[in-house]
Chain A
Amino acid sequence: MADLNKWSLLALAVLAAVLLALPQVVTNSFAVDIFIRILLFSFIGVAWNLMGGYAKQLSLGHAAYFGLGAYTSTIMQIDFNISPWIGMIAGGVVAMLASLPIGWLCFRLRGPYFTIATIATAQALMLVFLKFRDFAWGAEGTTLPNLGSAPLMMQFETKASYYYVVLGLLAVGLLITYRIEKSWIGYYLVAIGEDEDAAEAIGVNAPRIKRDIYMISAFLTALAGTFYTQYIYFIDPATAFSFNISIEAALVSIVGGIGTLWGPVIGTVLLETTSALLQSWLGSSTGGIQLTVYALILMAVILWRPTGLMGMLNEMLQRPAHHEKPARARSVL
């Protein structure tokens, strides 16, 4: 069990301490907002990574679940006065259920066509929510009633509280990913991603595993949707089912290191920081500059370092490793 050696645990503890203390130390509202964004998109990336990173099922339609989560909790809150905490879980369940027919449809295609099918289903969902005003406010969406400080209804006075909520979500996501990675499921996922036929030949029930991991991925993504809605007090189909969310989910994982535990986190830090810097240099996002830069980064990563930042890190760590193999080099992936 050399993976959790002393140094790793120590590093983890330090990281946790820093993260917990951060909003107490840095009180600039703009900065905390960036931290929240980073944590949120790390979480979305981690959720995506389970399916896209390990099992290489490259979905660009995860916004579908983000939106379903957002709408479920919001409808439950506004129409039935049910706490978003419950709504969040309910949203997750709705997303899980939705992933079954969507998965069934999309998994009938492989490779890029799977990806396209996922894009199509997310777009289709957005269209549905745009058209139907009866149960979901149509294209204009709605704002959430501001209840001031109402922790039971997931509304807080201070940004720091939101920070802790999303930090908790990220921790949950990382924990789930870690447990999966180290278990037989993790091995099966990578096997499916590497060569689905070979995996089948050694007893891996690929369709079932893909379906199951898709459900988990959808569930987690939906939680993020609920949180985001609560944070910005607003929901509409264009925001909730935004293609940009799907893109960023995949992007942070690829740039950071596809199929690794910390990849999405590192990727998010890089991309969101870049985005924030651009925003402060060039004023409010001149439509297109952010995505242009993202696109360039993505191209650079694909052409020169497909394993992402984590891959670079692994390579750097493996060179000096002759006798003492660092924990990472020994990991399966």
Chain B
Amino acid sequence: MSDALVIAGLNKRFGGLRAVQDVSFTVKQSETVALIGPNGAGKTTSFHLITGFHHADSGSVKAFGREIVGLKPHDVCALGLARTFQVAKPFGAMTVLANVMTGAFLRDRHVAAARETAREAIEFVGLSAREQTRAKDLTTIDQRRLEMARALATQPKILLLDEVMAGLNPSEIDQAVALVGKLSQAGLTIVIVEHVMRAIMAVARHIVVLDHGQKIAEGAPKEIVENPEVIRAYLGSGYVHHLAGGSHA
């Protein structure tokens, strides 16, 4: 399995704040990797860096072998990386169909073809019933679905999902997890930023943990949960002995 996304030595500072410090990790093709960490750890900033919304101070990001640092977001998307935003950004005045068609136009400028692709993406995420609804009238979870459908319409090979589960109730989370599973089965490489542990455990093969801009751990879900560094980052050192399990005491 080749490497879909190779991130090496990514650095970004804003004034005096080192938002992302020497972050490196690799995502294999068709793999689902979770990027986790406490608030302010640099997860969303990493997404911005990868997709070209911020310019990295140094480091490299290679998508399928191709260097993408320095590219503008629309070029990054054209190369096959799509992303969703932490706070959904629908095109409020447009209908769901129109929103997704806008994404589809990247690959084919013809209206009829774009409509086809859009309908497929809409069906995939389960929004078909709302096709003609104005995006601003959608519920939160439907807006998340819309974000996903719109990103999918660009026919990406790599999908970056930023906290799609935030604010969802348990049944909605299950639906979202199922959706991510479907995407993974379809062959998509996925990097997901999340806080909801249940979801992460269910979808991720591999987890990368950030704290204060740095990578502090990486590994399979089971290892991460027991990793003292991770526990310390989330809960503080008081809990390390508590939760690290007997063998690490």
Complex contact flag A–B (Cβ < 8 Å): yes
Residues on A facing B (Cβ under 8 Å): 182-184, 187-188, 190-191, 194-195, 197-206, 259, 330, 332-333
Residue from B89, B92, B106, B153 in contact with A197 in the complex, judged by beta carbons closer than 8 Å: B89
Cβ B85 vs Cβ A187 within 8 A: no
Is the C-beta of B74 less than 8 angstroms from some C-beta in chain A? yes
| Docked complex Cα distance between A29 and B76 (Å) | 59
Residue from B77, B92, B101 in contact with A187 in the complex, judged by beta carbons closer than 8 Å: B101
Query: In the assembled complex, which residues on chain B have CB atoms less than 8 Å from the CB atom of A191?
Result: 91, 94, 102
Is the C-beta of B114 less than 8 angstroms from some C-beta in chain A? yes
Query: In the assembled complex, which residues on chain B have CB atoms less than 8 Å from the CB atom of A188?
Result: 102, 105
| Docked complex Cα distance between A165 and B138 (Å) | 46
For B84, the closest partner residue in chain A by CB is A201
Cβ B73 vs Cβ A201 within 8 A: yes
Given A184-B111, A187-B101, do A202 and B106 touch, yes or no (CB 8 Å)? yes
Apart from the given pairs A190-B93, A200-B74, 11 other A-B contacts in the complex at a CB distance below 8 Å? A182-B111, A183-B109, A184-B105, A194-B93, A197-B89, A199-B91, A201-B51, A203-B74, A204-B106, A259-B93, A332-B95
Closest Cβ–Cβ distance, residue B193 to chain A (whole Å)? 15
Cβ A202 vs Cβ B89 within 8 A: no
For A207, the closest partner residue in chain B by CB is B72
Residue from A184, A198, A200, A259 in contact with B91 in the complex, judged by beta carbons closer than 8 Å: A198
Cβ B94 vs Cβ A332 within 8 A: yes
Query: In the assembled complex, which residues on chain A have CB atoms less than 8 Å from the CB atom of B82?
Result: 201-202
Chain B, 55-95, CB within 8 A of any chain A CB: 72-75, 77-78, 82-83, 85, 89-95
Chain B, 110-157, CB within 8 A of any chain A CB: 110-111, 114, 132, 150-151, 153-154
Is the C-beta of B25 less than 8 angstroms from some C-beta in chain A? no
Cβ B111 vs Cβ A202 within 8 A: no
Residues on B facing A (Cβ under 8 Å): 51, 53, 72-75, 77-78, 82-83, 85, 89-95, 98, 101-103, 105-106, 109-111, 114, 132, 150-151, 153-154
Query: In the assembled complex, which residues on chain B have CB atoms less than 8 Å from the CB atom of A195?
Result: 89-91
Residue from B85, B89, B98 in contact with A332 in the complex, judged by beta carbons closer than 8 Å: B98
For A208, the closest partner residue in chain B by CB is B74
| Docked complex Cα distance between A259 and B132 (Å) | 19
Sample of 25 A–B contacts (CB below 8 Å): A182-B111, A183-B111, A184-B109, A190-B91, A190-B98, A190-B102, A194-B93, A195-B89, A197-B85, A198-B85, A199-B91, A199-B102, A200-B53, A200-B72, A200-B77, A201-B73, A201-B82, A201-B83, A202-B82, A202-B106, A202-B150, A202-B153, A203-B77, A259-B93, A332-B98
Cβ A200 vs Cβ B73 within 8 A: yes
For B88, the closest partner residue in chain A by CB is A198
Cβ B89 vs Cβ A333 within 8 A: no
| Docked complex Cα distance between A8 and B101 (Å) | 25
Query: In the assembled complex, which residues on chain A have CB atoms less than 8 Å from the CB atom of B51?
Result: 201
Residue from A187, A206, A332, A333 in contact with B74 in the complex, judged by beta carbons closer than 8 Å: A206
Residue from A187, A203, A259, A332 in contact with B78 in the complex, judged by beta carbons closer than 8 Å: A203
Cβ B154 vs Cβ A197 within 8 A: no
Residue from B85, B90, B105 in contact with A201 in the complex, judged by beta carbons closer than 8 Å: B85
| Docked complex Cα distance between A199 and B103 (Å) | 8
Closest Cβ–Cβ distance, residue A308 to chain B (whole Å)? 13
| Docked complex Cα distance between A194 and B102 (Å) | 12
Cβ B93 vs Cβ A187 within 8 A: no
Closest Cβ–Cβ distance, residue A205 to chain B (whole Å)? 5
| Docked complex Cα distance between A198 and B99 (Å) | 11
Closest Cβ–Cβ distance, residue A307 to chain B (whole Å)? 9
For A332, the closest partner residue in chain B by CB is B98
| Docked complex Cα distance between A182 and B109 (Å) | 11
Query: In the assembled complex, which residues on chain B have CB atoms less than 8 Å from the CB atom of A194?
Result: 90-94
